[in-house]
Amino acid sequence: MIIGLIAMSGVRVRTKELAELGVTLPQFVSRGKVIASLPSLGLLTVAALTPPGVEVVYREVADLESYTDLEPFDLVGISSFTAQIDEAYALADRYREAGIPVVLGGLHVSLQPDEAAAHADSIVVNGAEGAWPQLVSDFRAGRMRPRYDGMRARVFDLPYYAKPRFDLLNGRAYNRLTVQTSRGCPLRCEFCAASLRITDSFQQKSVDKIVTELKDAIGVIDQPFFEFADDNTFINKKWGKQLLRALMPLDIKWFTETDISVADDDELLELLADSGCKQILIGFESPTAAGLAGIDPNGWKRRRCDCYLESIERIQSHGIAINGCFIVGLDNDTPDTFEELRDFIEASKLLEVQITVQTPFPGTPLYRRLHREKRLLQERFWDRCTLFDVNYTPKNMSVDELEAGLRWLFREVYNQRQFNHRKRHYMDIVKSLNSPYRDARAFASKRYTTAKPEEAPCKPPREPLLN
C-alpha cells in the first residue's frame, strides 16, 4: 500500500498591481522565496505517524496546472493553507474522480471541516496526532470514517508524538528545514490563524526530542538553516534557556518566531546568539498603542509598544537580526498610519521587515467580528487570504486607500536603497560586537562573543505570558 502525501506549496498574491510590484521589490521577493521553499513539516509528521508496512511518498505541488499526471497511490493525503485551499480541493476532486480516495487535513480544514468534507473521503481535524494512525488502520480494514479528530493537547507526549520523517526529503534541494518546538501561543491575538487554533493550550516539546529531530534533519540535508515552526518559541524563558544550551553543541544556524519579551532577558539573548540564532521574527503589528488596541485580549502588546525601539536595538546589538512584522488596516489605522509606520521602520533599523494587510482568516475571532459587523467584502474569499489582498472594509479609510497605502509603503520600505541602509546598520552591529574576528571559523558557523548591552532605561511590564 502506498500513501501519497501532497503539500500545496508556494506564495500567492491576487491583487494584480501588488503582484507586479512584489516581484520588483528585493526584500519582498527574498522572504517570499524562503517561505515558498520550506517543506511541509505537518506532512512529514503525518508520514511518521503512518503505521509500519505502509509506504509513504511526499510531494509538493506549487502549480496545480503543471501537476497533470496523477500518481497511482492507494490513498492520498493533502494539506494546504487557506490561500491555496481551492487548489487543494481541485486536486482532491481529480483524485477522487480517478477512483483514488482522498484525506484532507491541516489548519484550514480544521477550521472549515464541513466545507472540506465535500471534497474528501475523510478529513482530519486538529493535529494528526491521535487521528492518523487510526485512519490508516481503518482504511486498510475498509472502514475509513468521514472524520477523525486529532489531539488538541499532549501532542508531544507518547503515544501521540512521532518524530517527523526528514528522510523523505533525501536528495531534494532545501536550504531551510523546519522543526517544531512548541504549539500554540497564550497571547491569542485576534487575527492569528496559526497553531493556537488547533490547540487548547500552549504546548512545549521536550528538549531531548527537539535535539533528536535536529540531529535527524542534519543527517539528511547538509548544513541546513533551521526555522522553528512555532507561534512563539520563548514564552517560557526557563525552558528556552535549557533548549538553547542544548543547541550549542549542534553548531547550527536557525531562525524562529517569538515576542518582544526576549529583550528583557540578557542571559536569554546571549544564549540565543551563542546557540546560532541568526534571526528572530517578531510580530510588532503596529508601532502605536492606538493601533495595538484590541489586538490581543489582555492588551499585552499595547503595553509593550513604548519600549519597541529600545527592545529592537537591544536584541539586534547581540548580532541577532529581527524580521519585524507589521499589519496595516487595523481598526485604529488611518491614512496617516502608512507614513507613521514608514518612519518607525526607518528609526528602528530592523534588518528585515514584513508588512501585511490585516487578514480575517476563517475560524479566527477577527473573521467572526468582521462578519458580525458586516464588513467582509465577500462571504468566501479563501484564495485572497494571502496577507496582501484586502478582504474587508477598514474602519477609518476606504478599501482603495488601504490598497494604495500598502503599495506606497512597499515602495518606501522594500526598495533597494532602504534595504541596503538596513544591511549597513546590521554590519555595523556585527563589527561592534566584542572581539568578533578572533575566531574566524566561528564567525562563519555561528558567532563570536556577545556584547553586554547596558541596562535599558525603558522598563517594560514584566508580566508572565504563561499562567
Partner 1 sequence: MFQTTEPSSLTEHQLRALLVELFDPSADELSLDDDPAEFLGIDSLTRLHMLALVEERFDLRLRDEEITDLTTLGDIVRRIDAERARQLQ
- Residue 437 as a binder of partner 1 (CB under 8 A): the answer is yes
C-alpha cell at 286: 503596529
Taking CB under 8 A as the criterion, the residue among 14, 96, 188, 423 binding partner 1 is: 423
Q: Which of 380, 424, 452, 459 binds partner 1 (CB under 8 A)?
A: 424
255 vs 392, which CB is nearer to partner 1? 255
Complex with partner 1: residue 2 or 427, whichever CB lies closer = 427
Q: How far is the CB of 38 from partner 1 (least distance, A)?
A: 14
CA atoms of 126 and 109, how far apart (whole Å): 8
In the list 294, 335, 436, 453, the residue contacting partner 1 (rule: CB under 8 A) is: 436
Grid coordinates belonging to 284: 510588532
Q: Tell whether residue 173 is a contact of partner 1 (CB under 8 A).
A: no
Is 24 an interacting residue with respect to partner 1 (CB under 8 A)?
A: no
Interaction of residue 253 with partner 1, rule CB under 8 A: yes
Q: How many residues sit in the footprint of partner 1 (CB under 8 A)? A: 28
Helices (H) and strands (E) in the chain, counts: 18, 14
443 lies in the site for partner 1, by CB under 8 A: yes
Q: How far is the CB of 326 from partner 1 (least distance, A)?
A: 21
Q: Which of 137, 170, 416, 434 binds partner 1 (CB under 8 A)?
A: 416
Is 137 or 175 the residue whose CB approaches partner 1 more closely?
175
CA angle 283, 376, 384 (to 5 degrees): 65
Instruction: Please count the residues of the chain.
Output: 467
Q: Which stretch binds partner 1 (CB under 8 A): 46-54, 89-97, 204-212, 429-437?
A: 429-437
For position 36 contacting partner 1 by CB under 8 A, the verdict is no
What dihedral do alpha carbons 27, 29, 34, 36 form, nearest 10°?
Answer: 150
Enumerate residues 6+ apart whose C-beta is below 8 A from 313.
349
Q: Does 143 bind partner 1 (CB under 8 A)?
A: no
By CB under 8 A, is residue 132 in contact with partner 1? no
Nearer to partner 1, 104 or 351 (CB): 351
**Contact call for residue 278 and partner 1 (CB under 8 A):** yes
Output 261 or 317, the one with its CB closest to partner 1: 317
- Which of 69-77, 139-147, 194-202, 432-440 is the region at the interface with partner 1 (rule: CB under 8 A)? 432-440
**187-246 binders of partner 1 (CB under 8 A):** 223, 225
CA 56 – CA 168 distance, rounded (Å): 8
For the packed helices 337-348 and 308-316, what is the interaxial angle rounded to 10 degrees?
Answer: 30
Complex with partner 1: residue 375 or 423, whichever CB lies closer: 423
Pairing of strands 253-258, 75-79: unpaired
Pair type for strands 321-328 and 352-357 = parallel
Tell me the CB-side half-sphere exposure of residue 347, using CA atoms within 13 A.
11
When binding is defined by CB under 8 A, the residue of 69, 142, 400, 444 that contacts partner 1 is 444
Interface with partner 1 includes 452 (CB under 8 A)?
Answer: no
Grid cell listed for 408: 506606497
Cα-flanking dihedrals φ and ψ of residue 113, to 5°? -65, -40
Asked if 408 touches partner 1 (CB under 8 A), the answer is: no
126-to-172, 194, 404 alpha-carbon distances in Å: 29, 12, 37
Minimum CB distance to partner 1, residue 253 (Å): 7
- Picking from 217, 335, 313, the residue whose alpha carbon sits closest to that of residue 269 is 313
Nearer to partner 1, 408 or 437 (CB): 437
Contact stretch for partner 1 (CB under 8 A) within 58-66, 148-156, 357-365, 442-450: 442-450
Q: In sequence order, what DSSP letters do the residues of 221-283 get, joined into one string?
A: SSSPEEEE--S-GGGSHHHHHHHHHHHGGG--EEEEEE-GGGGG-HHHHHHHHHTTEEEEEEE
Q: How far is the CB of 243 from partner 1 (least distance, A)?
A: 21
Told to check if 28 binds partner 1 by CB under 8 A, we report: no
Residues 294-353 that bind partner 1 (CB under 8 A): 321, 351
- Nearest alpha carbon to residue 133 among 146, 110, 116, 150: 150
**CB of residue 444 vs partner 1: minimum separation in angstroms?**
5
**Residue 254 near partner 1 by CB under 8 A:** no
Spatial contact of 278 and 414, defined as CB atoms under 8 Å apart:
no
120 is a contact residue toward partner 1 (CB under 8 A): no
Which DSSP letter does residue 354 get? E
DSSP 74-86: SEEEEE--GGGHH
**Binding of residue 420 to partner 1 (CB under 8 A):** yes
DSSP 275-320: TTEEEEEEEEE-SSHHHHTTSSTT-HHHHHGGGHHHHHHHHHTTT-
Does residue number 81 form part of the binding site for partner 1 (CB under 8 A)? no
Which residue in 279, 332, 334, 396 binds partner 1 (CB under 8 A)?
279
Q: What are the residues binding partner 1 (CB under 8 A)?
A: 26, 30, 175, 223, 225, 253, 278-279, 321, 351, 416-417, 419-421, 423-424, 426-427, 430-431, 436-437, 440-441, 443-444, 447
